[in-house]
Structure formats: structure tokens, C-alpha cells
Amino acid sequence: MSQTHPTSGPPPHAVVLQMLTGKWVSAAIAAVAKFGIADHLESGPKSAKELASLTGTDEQALYRLLRATASLGVFTELEDGRFDQTPLSEPLRSHANPCLRNMAMLFLDDWFTRTWAQLPWSVQTGRSAAYKVYGKSPWEVFQDQPDQAVNFNNAMTDMSQADSPALAGAYDFSQFEDVVDIGGGLGLLLASVLQSAPKLRGTLFEMPYVAEQAQASPILKPFADRCQIQAGNFLEFVSPGADAYMMKHIIHDWDDEHSTRILSNCRKAIKPGGKLLVMDQVVGPRNQPGLAKIMDLEMLVNPGGLERTEKQWNDLFAASGFRLERIIRTPVPQCIIEGSPV
């Protein structure tokens, strides 16, 4: 007769149930971000009544939202019933650095929630759920819905605040004369790189509607004497003549066919002896936990791309005219995947 042995921790069904409620957790955090609760608590603890008055919400409903997020450690409920900040609420402040407020609010955006509801369709077809929901790619959705595009780019800027300085500090950019940041959003990564290498010249290469936002942004203004912004489509061409081409969170948006086209355009443009620097995650070994494996599902559902293993990166570089030289681990989830033209 087999014996059962007590195990530590909650039973499997309780663990799975907690996993299933993850969607509720992200929605709750997104809601407090939307209402700017962390900003309102900068001046000190406040009651649900005070916060409801400041945010135009129902006092009792807001209290329940605050109680729930306090149970997660995002806020803390004091003995007198007021709520206060915690270290976890710090990134939700509008002026925090790094800031995740826009990223959090993205989880409530209509396009985001509607596409993720179609995850089974994406698994059945292997295609972005945007085609099921909107009949077009997410990039076309952004062109048709500028407000959604602004929300998305603000969220990406939030993410860049956290990882750009770390990536810039993990590589010696002073060896180059010119660097092109392909799909660099509003320019946070390029600004960090230019800050790290005072003699380096830079070009931000972006879609026209993003380039227009970048022109209006103050991020690259301190480097105006050695930086330019160019509009274009990297599926067609990239700015030529630089000795370094970098892109962060770009290639994982695309399948192998489109990724090869983008990297091949870099190969045509790069100077002899130059370097390709792809800043993306590398999927770890089987069964090993990691953000890349969950992010990979986001790549499937929305842009239709994928996160890649080291072998997949090696194969992609080879198909595009590059040799993968090394993968540099950094303090943030992204690696710097370095390639040389062949």
C-alpha cells in the first residue's frame, strides 16, 4: 500500500487557482495606475474618502480596490483606515524613474484585452490575434487609432526608462563613430548610449508617426548637436553608413521572414567591420522559469513575433548575413546579442 507524504506549501489546485486570478491582479494594478493613486499619496496617507474625492470614484468601490492592492503589497492600509505608499507603489508614480504607470494602464487598453481574449485562436492559427479582432496587423491598428499608438509608445518609454541605462552601461559604445537606433521609440535608449559615449553620433530611425512624437519629445534635445531623427520603414530600408546598428524589443515583434528582412537591410547598410546589436531576451532551457517564455505568448498574440533561443538567434543572424559573436548578459532581462557582417 502506497503511503502519502505531507508536502509543504498549498495544494496544486490552490496554486493553479492563484495563477488563474493573475488577470484580476493586473487589472487591479492597472486601475490604481489609471486613477493616479500613487501620485495622490505623495503628500502623505489618505483615506478612501479623500482619494475618491480626488479621483471622481465611488468611495466604497475605491476602498475595495485599495484593500485588494494593499493585500498585494502595492499599498498599505494603516490602523486608522488611511492608505499609504510602499516600495511597490513607487514605480506607479507618474514621475518615478523607472516608471511603470503607462505600462500598467496598457493592460486595460481595449486592443490589449480584446486580443488576449483570442489567445486560443492564435494558438490554433499561429497568427496575431489582431487579425481576428481587427482584420489587420497591430501596427496598422495603431496607424488607424493614434490614441492607442500613443498609449503603447508611452508604455514602451516606461520600459525603456528601466532598462536603457543598464544596456548602455553593459557595452562599450565608444568604439563606434555612428550608431543607428532602429525602432527606438522616443529615443531613451539612444540618449543613454550617447550619454555613455560623448563623441558618438546617433540616428533615431522610426516610423513617421513615431518620429513626429520623438521630434516633439525633450529626450534627445540635449544631444541635438550629434543626433538626428529619420523617418522610414525598416522593412524597406534603414539609415545607411553607420558602424553600429542597434534595436531593442524590435526583432521579437516579427516572425523569421520579416526579421530576416529587417536584419538583411541592416547588413546592406552597415559599414565593413561594424556591429549589429540586438537587445532582446534569450529563451532559457526547458522547464526553467523566465519572463521570456511568458513574453513569448504576448509576441504571439499581438505582434505575431516570438522570443528566441540561442540557436534560433544564431540561425536568424546567419540567414541575414551576420555571424553571432556573443550574447552579453545584462542586469535587465534583455541580452545584447552581438553580430558581425560576413
Which residue numbers are catalytic?
Answer: 252
CB 187 within 8 A of CB 220: yes
Of 1, 19, 8, the closest CA to residue 294 belongs to 19
How far is 206 from 185, CA to CA, in rounded Å? 7
CB 187 within 8 A of CB 217: yes
CB 77 within 8 A of CB 70: yes
Strands 275-280 and 335-341: antiparallel
Nearest 10 degrees: Cα torsion 283, 189, 235, 249: 20
Give, for 278, the enclosing helix (H) or strand (E): strand 275-280
Amino acid making up residue 211: A
How far is 278 from 268, CA to CA, in rounded Å? 16
In Å, how far are 61, 199, 231, 247 from 205, measured between CA atoms?
A: 45, 20, 6, 10
CB 206 within 8 A of CB 231: yes
Of 165, 171, 163, the closest CA to residue 275 belongs to 171
Residue with cell 513617421: 208
- Residues paired with residue 246 on neighbouring β-strands, in sequence order: 181, 277
**Other C-beta atoms within 10 Å of 135: how many?**
9
How far is 84 from 74, CA to CA, in rounded Å? 9
Whether the link from the prior residue into 98 is cis, omega within 30° of 0, is yes
Give, for 124, the enclosing helix (H) or strand (E): helix 119-125
